[in-house]
Structure 1
Amino acid sequence: MKVALFGATGFVGSYIVDELISQGMEANLMVRGGSENKLLQKEKCRIIKGDIDDKIAINETLDGCGAVIYAIGIIREFPNRGITYENLHFNGAKRCIDAAKEKGINRFILMSANGAKMNGTGYQSTKYNS
């Protein structure tokens, strides 16, 4: 099976990449330009450069996939750079979920390293809302 992974260059995502490869799966990884150098096994994956606001890159990442893993998460916000819990945890996940539905992909894993609660921290509530 081919799996789309968002958040592949992060701490959790890098372990997911290794596990997908060890299980003999193909992996499409959407990464920000320049961050692909963090990947230890990038030659075994299809790398799509883009960011979570880029619908074209999201759709390209999903091409041919039977499952999606959304492992994007931030522990700190930088609003002046557009790096917010709302944008990455909620809006980004929603873009990927909507695009996956359009492509008929019905397996979607949403990861959270710090929980998901309705009335939790900013991190937790945006993961919950996703």
Structure 2
Amino acid sequence: MKIFMTGATGFIGGATARHLVEQGHELTCLVRDRSKASELEAIGCTLVDGDLSSRPRLAEQMTGHDALVHNAALYEVGIPRDRAPVLRKANVEGTANTLEAALEAGVPRVLYVSTCAVFGNTHREIATEDFRRPDLDSPGGMEFTSVYEETKYEAHQI
């Protein structure tokens, strides 16, 4: 299968890329910084330069692929509130651009990799795909523990 992947230079993305190549898939990886992608190149991945900000360019790069693995996200712990727009642009707008580009390019399969943080505090309840955040109906609104959690939750609403 010919797979287009975002976030392949990260920890989870790198492990996923290695596994996909070992399974015989042809992998094209979107990279912002080629200096972080030498291992991907060494295992036979095709590297394409870019980021998640340009939907038309993403669609062009995805054309002809059988699947998309969208793993890219910006993750920062303890950031000040004024950095929230940076995470929102990457995690929310970037996800929207990526999914719209896949649709435009006719990519038939999409796997979106996210985080359990989108569920918030589950109060020890096991969260399944139909899990509903306990704080959704809270009069004070949802209580996010981090900007990362908030932006990943927003991306799930796309």
For the criterion TM > 0.5, the same-fold answer is yes
Shift of 1:26: 0.6
What CA distance in whole angstroms lies between the structure 2 residues aligned with 1:83 and 1:21?
Answer: 35
Q: Secondary structure at the match of 1:90?
A: helix
Worse overlay, 76-85 or 39-48: 76-85
Aligned to 1:122: 147
Shift of 1:85: 2.0
Deviations 1:54-86, CA, capped at 9 Å, x for gaps = 335412431211111111122225898997221
Aligned to 1:58: 58
Q: Which has the larger radius of gyration?
A: 2
What CA distance in whole angstroms lies between the structure 2 residues aligned with 1:15 and 1:78?
Answer: 30
Q: Amino acid of the residue matched to residue 2 of structure 1?
A: K
Q: Amino acid of the residue matched to residue 63 of structure 1?
A: T
What CA distance in whole angstroms lies between the structure 2 residues aligned with 1:80 and 1:31?
Answer: 26
Percent identity, aligned pairs only, is 26
**Contact between 2:59 and 2:104, CA under 8 Å: does it hold in 1?**
no
Worse overlay, 111-120 or 67-76: 111-120
Question: For residues 115 and 82 of structure 1, do their structure 2 counterparts lie closer, same or farther at Cα, with a shift above 3 Å needed?
Answer: closer
Give the count of matched residue pairs.
129
Q: Amino acid of the residue matched to residue 6 of structure 2?
A: F
Deviations 1:18-73, CA, capped at 9 Å, x for gaps = 011001001111101334x4341414111101121133541243121111111112
What CA distance in whole angstroms lies between the structure 1 residues aligned with 2:16 and 2:38?
Answer: 11
1:38 aligns with 2:37: yes
Return 5+ residue gaps in structure 1 as ranges. Answer: none
Worse overlay, 14-23 or 108-117: 108-117
What CA distance in whole angstroms lies between the structure 1 residues aligned with 2:110 and 2:31?
Answer: 18
What CA distance in whole angstroms lies between the structure 2 residues aligned with 1:73 and 1:12?
Answer: 11
Aligned to 1:13: 13
Deviations 1:84-117, CA, capped at 9 Å, x for gaps = 2211111001001001111222321221245214
Question: For residues 124 and 79 of structure 1, do their structure 2 counterparts lie closer, same or farther at Cα, with a shift above 3 Å needed?
Answer: closer
Q: 2:94 aligns with which of 87, 92, 97?
A: 92
